């Protein structure tokens, strides 16, 4: 974990997507691919 990326939260390797955001989105019905695609565009 890098304290300079997402406030030190655990992130998916090579991205700035933190694990908690990914888990919450998938729990809400999104697919991992959709979340990654949305975050890549943003």
Any domain includes 1: no
Give the predicted TM-score (pTM) of the model.
Answer: 0.66
Domain range holding 15?
A: 6-41
The pLDDT of residue 6 is: 80
| pLDDT tens digits, 1-42 | 677 778 888 888 877 788 898 899 999 999 988 887 876 665
The pLDDT of residue 17 is: 82
Spatial separation of the C-alpha atoms in residues 14 and 16, rounded to whole Å: 7
Any domain includes 28: yes
The domain tally of the chain equals: 1
The pLDDT of residue 1 is: 66
The pair of structure tokens assigned to 28 is 């809400």
H helix and E strand count, the chain: 2, 0
């Amino acid at each position: 974990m890098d304290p300079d990326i997402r406030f030190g939260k655990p992130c998916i390797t090579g991205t700035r997507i933190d694990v908690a955001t990914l888990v919450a989105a998938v729990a809400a019905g999104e697919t991992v691919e959709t979340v990654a695609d949305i975050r890549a565009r943003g």
